[in-house]
């Protein structure tokens, strides 16, 4: 070797420690920026959801009051007592079998957290734990989504994914202060199962790690089954993914192994949940899973004997046959079919057949404006992310693509399910954003050995403008998130989100407090089903129906009470032994002739339909009919009911809530 060449080689060798140190510094700096950004995002996620505290620390909406009441029962009586609890306050006179009509995951989690905090010496009430539990779960979910995004597209994609979920109005609406409901665990469970399952099928990991991740995915799925009725979606998504690996030739034995172990552990715990039980395995989606597993095991048995390319079409035929058998078992009555809310999501045209289901605002079909209000620029970014994923399709991208497309369909079918779309939309949008911004950021920052002068035909200045445009385009979503968060909850505003005299009305807290303190212990209060959870939890009084809509016939009887004339209503009230009746009428207190669309004054049309009455008998040619003016509801709302039978005993501050004693 020439002397000069040797000298150059020694020089490069001598500079190696410096180069390694520089590389280590660069890696450490990037890691520090990434961790700092994640911590800031988690703080923003918590802060946004804490904003309603300005109007007080309240539970909000309706269902969270039931979940709190269950958690309170568990704390006072023990976890085992829940499995035999027959509630006598709801659905009078039958009562409600709580373990067979509700999920234990959420109240058990809050009760356990409360007990742990008390054991550690933290002075906190169960109510405070339940009020802040959604925020805790939102933060944990943002962390899981970061890991999911990082696995999909690197650290930057993870950061953007976490940010988009943190500021998603759809996600905030279900994880804000006081929204103590099953979605808290549901969305976390979906993200956790996705993260762990995808890691379990990673061929680059040792077998022991893949089995560990499969087991953890199964436990996360079990937690989801025990907490949320919409867990059916996760079962369907995993099954669809397995089928899609056959079509896209990404199928491998490790995929089947992970799938079997995950589903087995999930089912093992699911059948111990009273609401599900062993019959849970006979529902059509789970029968499909079992048949698919059997089919794939047969496929694995013959696979070594036949060339792979000759097996693809028979494997697909077998998989489709398994789906056909599942549908056949449903038809003959062996497998339980999808019904009610789940069927209406798959087929929205079925929803008008159930006025009770259709009457719930969150069950409406989503419109494009709602998509843009909830997602803004994230939506077109996520669509572009699908295109980018298809260009380099692998197992993770295939899963994310299926997650996104199915969630998009369900979100369009039912506006409530935009919540589910928040995670895959964030993942796909962040993946697209990183693909779009990386070359421009490299150009602006001058990364690489030589500073690049142009990227995709544009110069450094144009790249700076492009980056600025992308960042500015996300600002409306952030603004929407902040404005959505900075509102009082349903209970804090008495379900009337209008300020009166500079403050939100407190009619419902006043009415419920009065009922708790003044009505007899054996009082039976009739009201529209929406308010049942409030009356049972806050006032502690018996109701004919709560917010679960379990017994449609009894809700129809309440609708008849409201929409028939007084004499006929009294007959039904006597049958139930009702002592009081409550109406919620939202007329502008400053202009009583103006209606606000929040109370029974606008819900009456659904009462008519749910009762099986003819709507045109009450409203025809854009006018109310005599039958409407003669209805018990109208007379109670306008305080013109016969005082011999309906004695007004309480009127809230703005006369929104009126309570009558029923006199026979």
pLDDT of residue 561: 98
CATH 3.40.50.12610 domain locations along the chain: 507-662
- What does the pLDDT look like over 565-592, one tens digit per residue? 999 999 999 999 999 999 999 999 989 8
pLDDT of residue 442: 63
Report the C-alpha gap between 582 and 519 in whole angstroms: 13
CB 504 within 8 A of CB 653: no
Over residues 550-563, the mean pLDDT reads 95
CB 632 within 8 A of CB 565: yes
pLDDT of residue 293: 87
**Using 50, 70 and 90 to split pLDDT, how confident is the model at 109?**
very high
Assigned token pair, 412: 């369009």
Q: What share of the chain is helix, strand, coil (3-state, %, to 5)?
A: 65, 5, 25
- pLDDT over threshold 50, residue 1: no
DSSP strand pairing (580-584 vs 542-543): unpaired
Cα-only R_g, the chain: 29
CB 508 within 8 A of CB 599: no
Report the C-alpha gap between 112 and 125 in whole angstroms: 13
Assigned token pair, 70: 């269950």
Over residues 109-127, the mean pLDDT reads 96
Report the C-alpha gap between 298 and 431 in whole angstroms: 37
What is the model's pTM? 0.89
- What does the pLDDT look like over 345-370, one tens digit per residue? 666 766 666 777 677 766 677 777 77
Over residues 641-650, the mean pLDDT reads 96
CB 619 within 8 A of CB 630: no
Pick from 451, 530, 459: nearest CA to 490: 530
- pLDDT over threshold 60, residue 525: yes
Query: In which residue are the tokens 């560990």 written?
Result: 212
Could you say which of 3.40.50.12610, 3.40.50.980, 2.40.70.10, 2.60.130.10 is the CATH number of the domain covering 507-662? 3.40.50.12610
pLDDT of residue 448: 46
Task: Indicate left, alpha or beta for 527 from its phi (over 0: left) and psi (-120 to 50: alpha).
Answer: beta
Q: Comparing 518 with 463, which gets the higher pLDDT?
A: 518
First to last CA, the chain: 114
**Using 50, 70 and 90 to split pLDDT, how confident is the model at 20?**
very low
Report the C-alpha gap between 376 and 313 in whole angstroms: 42
């Amino acid at each position: 070797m020439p002397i000069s060449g040797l000298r150059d080689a020694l020089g490069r060798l001598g500079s190696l420690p410096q180069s390694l140190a520089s590389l280590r510094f660069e890696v450490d700096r990037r890691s520090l920026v990434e961790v700092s950004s994640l911590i800031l995002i988690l703080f923003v996620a918590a802060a946004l959801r804490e904003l309603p505290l300005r109007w007080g620390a309240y539970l909000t909406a309706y269902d969270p009051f039931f979940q709190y009441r269950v958690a309170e029962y568990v704390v006072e009586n023990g976890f085992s007592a829940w499995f035999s609890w027959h509630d006598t306050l709801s659905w009078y006179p039958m009562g409600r079998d709580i373990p067979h009509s509700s999920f234990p995951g959420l109240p058990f989690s809050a009760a356990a957290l409360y007990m742990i905090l008390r054991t550690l010496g933290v002075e906190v009430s169960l109510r405070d734990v339940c009020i802040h539990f959604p925020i805790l779960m939102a933060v944990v979910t943002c962390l899981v989504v970061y890991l999911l995004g990082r696995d999909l597209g690197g650290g930057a994609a993870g950061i953007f994914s976490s940010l988009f979920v943190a500021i998603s109005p759809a996600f905030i609406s279900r994880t804000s202060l006081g929204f103590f409901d099953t979605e808290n665990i549901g969305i976390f469970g979906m993200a956790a199962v996705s993260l762990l399952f995808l890691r379990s099928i990673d061929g680059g990991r040792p077998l022991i790690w893949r089995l560990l991740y499969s087991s953890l995915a199964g436990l996360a799925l079990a937690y989801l089954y025990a907490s949320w009725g919409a867990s059916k979606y996760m079962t369907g998504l995993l099954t669809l993914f397995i089928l899609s690996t056959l079509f896209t030739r990404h199928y491998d034995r490790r995929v089947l192994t992970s799938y079997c172990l995950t589903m087995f552990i999930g089912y093992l715990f699911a059948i111990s949940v009273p609401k599900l039980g062993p019959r849970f395995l006979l529902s059509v989606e789970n029968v499909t899973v079992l048949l698919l597993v059997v089919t794939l095991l047969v496929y694995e048995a013959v696979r070594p004997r036949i060339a792979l390319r000759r097996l693809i079409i028979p494997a697909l035929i077998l998989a489709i046959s398994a789906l056909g058998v599942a549908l056949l078992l449903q038809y003959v009555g062996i497998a339980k079919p999808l019904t009610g809310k789940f069927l209406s999501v798959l087929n929205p045209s079925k929803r008008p057949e159930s006025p009770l289901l259709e009457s719930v605002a969150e069950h409406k079909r989503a419109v494009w404006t709602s998509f843009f209000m909830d997602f803004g620029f994230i939506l077109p970014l996520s669509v572009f992310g699908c295109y980018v994923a298809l260009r380099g399709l692998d197992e993770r991208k295939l899963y994310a693509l299926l997650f996104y497309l199915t969630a998009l369909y369900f979100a369009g079918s039912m506006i409530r399910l935009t919540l589910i779309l928040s995670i895959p939309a964030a993942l796909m949008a962040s993946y697209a954003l990183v693909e779009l911004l990386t070359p421009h950021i490299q150009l602006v920052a001058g990364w690489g050995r030589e500073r690049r002068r142009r990227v995709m035909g544009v110069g450094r200045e144009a790249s700076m403008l492009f980056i600025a445009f992308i960042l500015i385009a996300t600002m409306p979503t952030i603004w929407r998130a902040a404005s959505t968060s900075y509102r009082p909850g349903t209970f804090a505003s008495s379900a009337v989100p209008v300020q009166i005299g500079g403050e939100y009305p407190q009619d419902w807290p006043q009415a419920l407090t009065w009922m708790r303190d003044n009505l007899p212990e054996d009082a039976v209060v009739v009201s529209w089903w929406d308010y049942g959870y409030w009356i049972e939890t806050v006032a502690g009084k018996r109701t004919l129906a709560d917010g679960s809509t379990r017994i449609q016939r009894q809700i129809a009887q309440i609708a008849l009470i409201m929409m028939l004339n007084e004499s006929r209503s009294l007959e039904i009230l006597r049958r139930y032994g009702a002592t009081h009746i409550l109406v919620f009428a939202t007329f502008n207190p400053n202009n009583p002739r103006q209606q606000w669309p929040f109370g029974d004054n606008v819900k009456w049309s659904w009462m008519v339909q749910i009762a099986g009455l003819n709507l045109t008998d009450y409203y025809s040619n854009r006018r109310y009919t005599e039958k409407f003016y003669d209805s018990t509801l109208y007379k109670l709302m306008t305080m013109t009911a016969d005082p011999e039978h309906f004695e007004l005993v309480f009127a809230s501050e703005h006369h929104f809530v009126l309570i009558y004693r029923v006199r026979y």
